[in-house]
């Protein structure tokens, strides 16, 4: 049994394991594929729990991607245990209200979250994504995250599981956790193997379908005199739902006088789709510009006569992203030594802001189970993965439905 990450064919020194010996009961070693929200949160837990791990992340650096993320009262207590609560509170704003407006920016409804903290002890907060990453990486030793490592294949046998990367390097560990997002290579690998064994469900065999087009951005710092909402020490999400346009806009003031914004268009299901609704289906800066031009006339709620175009023009081009938002619940979450977490096993649309919170909480369950795992025998690993699935799959499925409802309420027109 290997108790350390090993490159079976080390090509250079930097492929050697820099890891301290495992401290957990079983001596389990873990490769986490993907250093996103789920992978990094889990790494923080493993640091605390004394489980040795290595993150393989395909990106060369953290990409800004113009978006922000909400953490709710379910994952803030986790961040508190990880010693990161103060960082999150300082870098974020608590969410007080969702204010809904029509196309003329006339208020049409409001949801009040201001007593969330009183009820549950924690607010819901919002911050930009790069800051989120910075907080999550601060306590992770540099040598435990390897960037520029795109995992292509996974193989497993009685000795362990091996992740092979596009640069020819390979890493061996007891188990592999696929936290590599919606298009998870880890998932594709285990699904190929499940399929060969006739164990892949027809649901899981189908590709992801996308349900929403989304344009997101984070503005540069704006003048609080022009945008007085920026003076608040809390944030209200202002949601503009125009009657005759097929999309809605969400404005979220975040720290440093910036406004994070998102334009979301629901995509009709294929059977009801008219050609037009697919006009923004391509990716890239061109698609971003096209969608931006299409929505910029929308009124913004901040100033008389102000438009979404004002906010778009105050957003650096590299902080505007056009993304497709998929939704799918995958039924199989593990095979032998390999298990999935986060968007890799359930992709929800962000309308209810649940995706990151789910990934964080899945990490908690998996980490707790791994700490108590008595040995690294396959039967104990399987028990852990089964328990993990029992504890989390139902919740992920509910979250998918919940997010879909939020999206429909705001995005569908009858």
Does residue 67 bind ligand FAD (CB under 6 A)?
yes
Residue of the chain from 22, 27, 350, 363 that contacts ligand FAD (CB under 6 A): 350
- State CA 61 to chain mean position distance: 17
What are the phi and psi torsion angles at 169 (to 5°)? -80, 160
Q: Are 173 and 30 spatial neighbours (Cβ–Cβ below 8 Å)? A: yes
Percentages helix, strand, coil for the chain, rounded to the nearest 5? Answer: 35, 25, 35
The footprint of ligand NAG (CB under 6 A) covers 8-9, 153, 155, 162, 164, 170
Which entry of ligand FAD, ligand NAG, none binds 153, CB below 5 to 8 A by partner kind? ligand NAG
125/151 with CB nearer ligand NAG: 151
What is the token pair recorded at 228?
Answer: 């007085």
Q: Are 31 and 54 spatial neighbours (Cβ–Cβ below 8 Å)? A: yes
Which entry of ligand FAD, ligand NAG, none binds 58, CB below 5 to 8 A by partner kind? ligand FAD
Residue of the chain from 54, 175, 179, 410 that contacts ligand FAD (CB under 6 A): 179
CB of 317 to ligand NAG, least distance (A): 39
CB of 254 to ligand FAD, least distance (A): 11
Q: Are 248 and 242 spatial neighbours (Cβ–Cβ below 8 Å)? A: yes
Does residue 34 bind ligand FAD (CB under 6 A)?
yes
27/407 with CB nearer ligand FAD: 407
Which entry of ligand FAD, ligand NAG, none binds 252, CB below 5 to 8 A by partner kind? none
Closest CA to 174 of 385, 395, 391: 385
155/307 with CB nearer ligand NAG: 155
- Stretch of residues binding ligand FAD (CB under 6 A), selected from 46-54, 86-94, 353-361, 380-388: 353-361
Does residue 125 bind ligand FAD (CB under 6 A)?
no
Angle at 311 between CA 288 and CA 76, to 5 degrees: 90
Query: Which pairs count as long-range contacts for 220-224, CB under 8 Å and 24+ apart, including other chains?
Result: 220/258, 220/314, 220/315, 220/316, 221/256, 221/257, 221/258, 222/257, 222/258, 222/259, 222/314, 223/257, 224/257
Does residue 22 bind ligand FAD (CB under 6 A)?
no
Helix residue spans in 138-215 (DSSP H): 185-196, 202-205
What is the token pair recorded at 94?
Answer: 């608590």
Which entry of ligand FAD, ligand NAG, none binds 402, CB below 5 to 8 A by partner kind? none
CB of 133 to ligand FAD, least distance (A): 9
What are the phi and psi torsion angles at 230 (to 5°)? -70, -15
136/165 with CB nearer ligand NAG: 165
Residue of the chain from 123, 353, 363, 407 that contacts ligand FAD (CB under 6 A): 353
- Name the site residues for ligand FAD (rule: CB under 6 A): 33-39, 56-59, 67, 69-70, 149-151, 179-181, 185, 214, 216, 262, 323, 342-344, 350, 353-357, 359
């Amino acid at each position: 049994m290997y108790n350390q990450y090993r490159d079976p064919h080390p090509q250079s020194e930097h492929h050697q394991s820099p890891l301290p010996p495992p401290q957990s009961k079983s001596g389990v070693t873990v490769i986490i594929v993907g250093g996103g929200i789920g992978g990094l949160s889990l790494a923080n837990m493993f640091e605390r729990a004394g489980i040795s791990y290595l993150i393989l992340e395909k990106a060369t650096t953290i990409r800004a991607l113009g978006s922000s993320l909400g953490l709710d009262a379910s994952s803030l207590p986790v961040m508190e245990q990880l010693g990161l609560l103060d960082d999150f509170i300082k870098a974020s704003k608590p969410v007080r209200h969702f204010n809904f407006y029509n196309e003329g920016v006339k208020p049409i409804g409001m949801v009040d979250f201001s007593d969330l903290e009183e009820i549950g002890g924690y607010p819901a907060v919002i911050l930009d994504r790069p800051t989120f990453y910075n907080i999550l990486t601060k306590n992770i030793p540099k040598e435990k995250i390897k960037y520029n490592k795109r995992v292509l294949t996974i193989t497993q046998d009685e000795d362990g599981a091996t992740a092979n990367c596009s640069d020819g390097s390979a890493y061996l560990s007891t188990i592999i956790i696929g936290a590599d997002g919606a298009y998870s290579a880890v998932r594709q690998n285990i699904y190929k193997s499940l399929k060969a064994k006739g164990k892949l469900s027809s649901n899981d065999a189908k590709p992801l379908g996308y349900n929403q087009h989304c344009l997101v951005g984070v503005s540069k710092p704006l003048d609080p005199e022009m945008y007085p909402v920026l003076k608040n020490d809390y944030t209200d999400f202002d949601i503009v739902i125009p009657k005759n346009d097929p999309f809605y806009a969400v404005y979220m003031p975040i720290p440093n006088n910036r406004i994070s914004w998102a334009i979301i268009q629901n995509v009709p299901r294929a059977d009801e789709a008219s050609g037009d609704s697919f006009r923004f289906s391509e990716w890239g800066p061109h698609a971003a510009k096209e969608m931006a031009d299409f929505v910029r006339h929308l009124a913004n709620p901040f100033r008389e006569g102000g438009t979404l175009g004002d906010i778009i023009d105050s957003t650096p081009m590299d902080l505007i992203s056009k993304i497709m938002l998929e939704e799918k619940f995958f039924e199989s979450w593990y095979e032998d030594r390999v298990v999935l977490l986060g968007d890799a096993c359930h992709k929800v649309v962000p309308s209810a802001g649940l995706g990151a919170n789910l990934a964080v909480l899945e990490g908690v369950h998996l980490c707790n189970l791994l700490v108590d795992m008595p040995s690294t025998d396959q039967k104990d690993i399987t028990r852990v993965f089964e328990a993990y699935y029992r504890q989390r799959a139902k919740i992920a499925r509910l979250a998918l439905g919940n997010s879909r409802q939020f999206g429909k309420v705001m995005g569908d027109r009858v």
